Amino acid sequence: MCYRPANTVTIVKCLECGAFNKPTNETCSKCGADLNESRKAADEAVAPPAGKPKEISLTPQGLDGAPKAPGAPSAPKAPGAPKPPTP
């Protein structure tokens, strides 16, 4: 709560190597991966669904018994909707 405003700095985490990059970076400073995809993924994971009630209808019913992968990159708060990485 005492942090900087949310819209000031958003660190972009590289999906490829996990390095943290400035939001102004186009590519990862470490591995050179395209950060636009990382940014997009982060947006989807962090941005709250606008105008939506807090009712969640995305229960992964076909995935029972499948534990979340530990150390999944860049989605600490994904509300129960794991997406497989698309190449």
- Write 18-25 long-range contacts (CB < 8 A, 24+): 18/73, 18/74
Instruction: Tell me how far CA of residue 84 lies from CA of 57, 69, 72, in angstroms.
Output: 19, 11, 11
Nearer to Zn ion, 14 or 42 (CB): 14
Tell which positions 18-77 bind Zn ion, by CB under 5 A.
19, 28, 30-31, 33
**Radius of gyration of the chain measured on its C-alpha atoms:** 15
The stretch near Zn ion (CB under 5 A) out of 4-12, 16-24, 39-47, 63-71 is: 16-24
Stretch that binds Zn ion, among 15-23, 34-42, 62-70, 75-83 (CB under 5 A): 15-23
Q: Which residues here bind Zn ion, judged by CB under 5 A?
A: 14, 16-17, 19, 28, 30-31, 33
